[in-house]
A and B are shown apart, each in its own frame.
Chain A
């Protein structure tokens, strides 16, 4: 921890900006290079990709949580404070992106010189434009042999409507163009506006949990002033705290003694115990001199994808509960509540922003929480129009097929629909349209992007894209297709609940809601997959798929025919025991339902569409 410092710039010399890029287009490397360019880091102390904090982020090469770094840069003989606000790069984290953008005046738009504009670049650009941000287009990776910087710059003009001549050519790898970019940020991005004398309005754009300080809140002051010792109010959460520390990330946390004013970006510590107490997008004001209105645009993040976690192997329910709660202190982006399944016992139903988000949480639970979990197949939220217990018509939301009321009470089932934008090579258009049609997509529009690229717009049921849609898209387009989507609403369709019976018992964790026209095909395929997943047992295991009481598909797992070691003499004992123990350990990691051991993979078999 460095000693407290004073602020280096006033609003006129502050530039708040973010970088918008598609995954793999080099955002993190460019950010690192910019930090080095300002002398904050040198090659030696730079960990690769400083801004991606979590191991998981570094491993996956993506940014999951937003963060902010303040650096000084001298331009035209004057020192500027550049506040770089990082944004998550994945479709699941739209909301966090929009909050980060709201804290900025400018956005650097990175386009890969080899790959060109991608769906997410477009989607995030629209958000930046909506947030009235000034834009600097950057063509990165210009040193690669397959780079086409001039063509990409033209594409930026054609597709995004930015002047090709404004593009800055960089290679984050070699550092070419980085100084020009830093100069352009000081030159072209506007200084923050805002009235330091007005009542305090500060936007929370991120928060992290620190073992020593508790919650560290990332904020941007829009109006007013804040200093250490102030009693603050979170307007949405309606909670008050006392500010104990203010500072900036340079990139390590550095305390700042001076008050923060309109335009400043930094962090705050205020004895906040869990991330659940802080809402991204909330407005901070002074408890004693409140502003009239909160800043616009605050939304509770709405989980769209749900699944259950159950303890497996040696993990006990209590251990799982502790691990989930502990992780939640660190990452409040998911929600959870206890649930109970006849087959799987006690566990938690968790809501996520999307599939990647779900994968990340599961992995962090297992890695950081050291628990072993069985995860059920993810489902979306459904709206059920039904007759309630008292006979009155009511609308309920379910996140689990098992919660579906008796079919006789159900009037209609509505599912979430997304507006999807798919950028695809022109040659793959036909196959992508076929894919969308097979997923009950409704065609909306087709736009020209470049000679070899088109944008397809479809409305698709979310349930149809949470499993293998993205993989299919990638394989049809040889990896070149990209997609962005957001949920637009709910729509009624002919949806039914399909039950799966293992050895005669319905396994709720395997049931799913499907479109009636696809039920039989899905059922047959699901049972085939289950058959591959479940080992042969000492008895025959029938597998059935059923709608209501009607069996629509069946399979049988034959019992083990012969499995007996022929020779077991003196020298064979140890080896044989170890072999059998290995066999048994494999079983221990499975979930026992009745007398059948079901591996984790079986629960995910539900996801395979069989197309």
Chain B
């Protein structure tokens, strides 16, 4: 692993375990101990009890702690001191509470969280318990992102998302009871079979929960997911493009009216003068800051060098869950962009933000006469980009076709 830990402003931890793979998800995850589909087998959903034979959670926790310690050793000075920490998955809340305690204890012991202002954990509503939330809050977690996705049973079924609509509220309550009040909810729209009226109902139910942050995603058919396979054989039908566009427009309209700031293509924060509810961790991605990702499948970035840990738990454990790790850890997809390409990448990421990109940066990196400068002028002329006093940014029209716009600037 490259020795970039010192400068990492953000730390990402990938916790790969799930009790079931949702059919649209292409994040790296493993299902060692399948849980029952809520509402089908048991009347009351509980955290499924793992069967010892296939339980890799303890080994994983040891391995992650080992990887963390290695990162600390590699970092000069006091060690890793990220400003933001984000635990994603997988289903981080599917990691058993006792193992979470070990992980959090290790973070504290090393002083990792000394300068951390935002520590987010992703949660599946079905796996959120009052007990776990208290332990997380105690360990420094101050933000929870709950994958609500939809409140309609039909939509959740279409996604093969195994949670009951009503468990979202109990998850929110459990977080608040534990003192975690900075809560983000995820919503998916353009789900097969979904109508605008169903979306409106989802938005009503979301807003009732009074989150501080929202992420709204148009359903993406990722390659090599069961959902895409079903699409290919005609077992699901995509929402047509006009409807999808109308849905995105409805989301924009409703959330703005509800007092949320749209600060990135898919992200919303409750409006405050200090912008405190914007996700600082994700902003690090979009502003090309340096971050370190730990756990199988986790991506990292350091000054234009991108790589990821191999998305393979077996290899991950083989390397890190040994007393003296030998050889290089399994990483892959190393990429070092030429300066010219980094400019394109920065434009791609920066234009996703509603603020856009500062003129100063553009003047310094996109000289007049460069093809990108001509493309920017043309995109401004046809109303896809606009110049504010300080920034270049997407217009509302440009927002809907951001990929087409950005492709012209790469």
Contacts and interface: CB of A to CB of B under 8 A. Distances in A.
B408 A584 contact: yes
Interface stretch (B163-171, B240-248, B270-278, B313-321): B240-248
Given A562-B245, A564-B265, A584-B408, A574 B401 contact: no
CB-based closest 9 A-B pairs: A571-B299, A566-B217, A564-B402, A562-B245, A580-B407, A561-B241, A561-B245, A583-B407, A563-B403
Nearest to B282: A569
Interface string B116-145: 000000000000000000000000000000
B65 interface: no
Given A562-B248, A573-B285, A577-B410, A568 B404 contact: no
Interface stretch (B29-37, B66-74, B95-103, B341-349): B341-349
A568 B266 CA distance: 9
Q: How large is the interface on B (under 10, 10 to 19, 20 to 34, 35 or more residues)?
A: 35 or more
Contacts of B384: 538
B293 to A, nearest CB: 7
- Scoring B248, B341, B399, B400 by chain A CB atoms within 10 A of each residue's CB, the highest score goes to B400
Interface in A45-64: none
A154 B156 CA distance: 75
A595 B298 contact: no
A76 interface: no
Given A566-B217, A566-B218, A538 B382 contact: yes
Nearest to A576: B348
Contact of A570 (B242, B291, B345): B291
Interface in A568-592: 568-571, 573-574, 576-577, 580-581, 583-584, 587
A539 B245 CA distance: 15
Contact of A584 (B245, B286, B410): B410
A289 interface: no
Interface string B271-306: 000000000001001100001010001111100001
Contacts of B378: 595
B333 interface: yes
Nearest to B403: A563
B266 A567 contact: yes
Contacts of A584: 407-408, 410
Contacts of B241: 561-562
Nearest to B334: A574
23 contacts: A538-B382, A538-B401, A560-B400, A560-B404, A562-B218, A562-B244, A562-B248, A562-B401, A563-B404, A564-B218, A564-B265, A564-B400, A565-B403, A566-B217, A568-B286, A568-B349, A570-B12, A570-B285, A570-B299, A571-B299, A574-B333, A580-B407, A581-B410
B198 to A, nearest CB: 18
B308 interface: yes
Nearest to B398: A538
A571 B13 CA distance: 12
B11 to A, nearest CB: 11
Interface in B369-410: 378-379, 382, 384, 399-408, 410
Given A538-B382, A562-B244, A562-B401, A573 B344 contact: no
Contacts of A564: 218, 248, 265, 399-403
A538 B245 contact: no
Contacts of B401: 538, 559-564
Contacts of A565: 220, 265, 402-403
B408 A570 contact: no
Contacts, number: 102
User: Mostly helix, strand, loop or mixed at chain A's interface?
Assistant: loop
A570 B301 contact: yes
Contact of B244 (A561, A571, A574, A581): A561
B161 interface: no
Interface in B218-261: 218-220, 241-242, 244-245, 248
Contacts of A580: 348, 403, 406-407, 410
Contacts of A563: 400-404
Nearest to B384: A538
A139 B39 CA distance: 79
- Scoring A538, A562, A565, A581 by chain B CB atoms within 10 A of each residue's CB, the highest score goes to A562
Given A561-B241, A562-B400, A595-B382, A573 B217 contact: no
B220 A571 contact: no
Interface string B152-194: 0000000000000000000000000000000000000000000
A567 B220 CA distance: 9
B218 A571 contact: no
Given A538-B404, A566-B266, A595-B382, 13 more contacts: A538-B405, A563-B402, A565-B402, A565-B403, A566-B217, A567-B266, A568-B286, A570-B301, A571-B299, A574-B335, A580-B348, A580-B410, A587-B407
A506 to B, nearest CB: 21
Contacts of B379: 538
Contacts of A561: 241-242, 244-245, 400-401
A570 B282 CA distance: 8
Nearest to A539: B382
A570 B298 CA distance: 9
B279 to A, nearest CB: 10
- Scoring B248, B382, B407 by chain A CB atoms within 10 A of each residue's CB, the highest score goes to B407
Given A538-B382, A538-B401, A573-B306, A568 B220 contact: no
B213 interface: no
A24 B341 CA distance: 51
B23 to A, nearest CB: 16
Contacts of A577: 341, 344-345, 348, 410
A176 to B, nearest CB: 52
Contacts of A559: 401
B352 interface: yes
Contacts of A562: 218, 241, 244-245, 248, 400-401
